[in-house]
Amino acid sequence: MIETENHDPAAAIWELKPDEGCPVQRAVDKLADKWKLQILLTLMQYDVIRFRELQRQLSGVTPKVLTNALRELERDGLITRTHYPEIPPRVEYRPSERSRSLLPILAQLQDWARAHLT
């Protein structure tokens, strides 16, 4: 993080170098998909969940869309996927430590939204 003269963390957002891009925008872009945030919150609730159960919890998501979102979340280090070589194959999804670190931030965002977007 960029240190500012007055040590105001919010002020650091406006002091970015032009070639750095905004880290807040990059973070939002990772979660801005219709389903990704719902997937993460569901994983946090259940801790471990299989594909079909996750699909049942997210009514309206197609298998293809869910698969793509899970792959992107895994690629971004936000979930872990464990494949068990059984017949039939078993795959479980868990929130990663990286996604668990988002919980306090998401709780603050929820509080802000309730206070300002009603």
**Per-10-residue mean pLDDT for the chain, 118 residues long?**
52 62 82 91 94 95 97 96 93 95 90 90
Q: In the prediction, which pLDDT does 92 show?
A: 97
d(CA 24, CA 41) in angstroms, rounded, equals: 20
Q: In the prediction, which pLDDT does 33 show?
A: 87
Q: In the prediction, which pLDDT does 18 show?
A: 63
CATH 1.10.600.10 fits 19-111, yes or no: no
Q: In the prediction, which pLDDT does 28 show?
A: 85
Instruction: State the DSSP string of 1-33.
Output: ----TT--HHHHHTT--TTT--HHHHHHHHH-S
d(CA 14, CA 72) in angstroms, rounded, equals: 29
| Nearest alpha carbon to residue 17 among 7, 2, 6 | 2
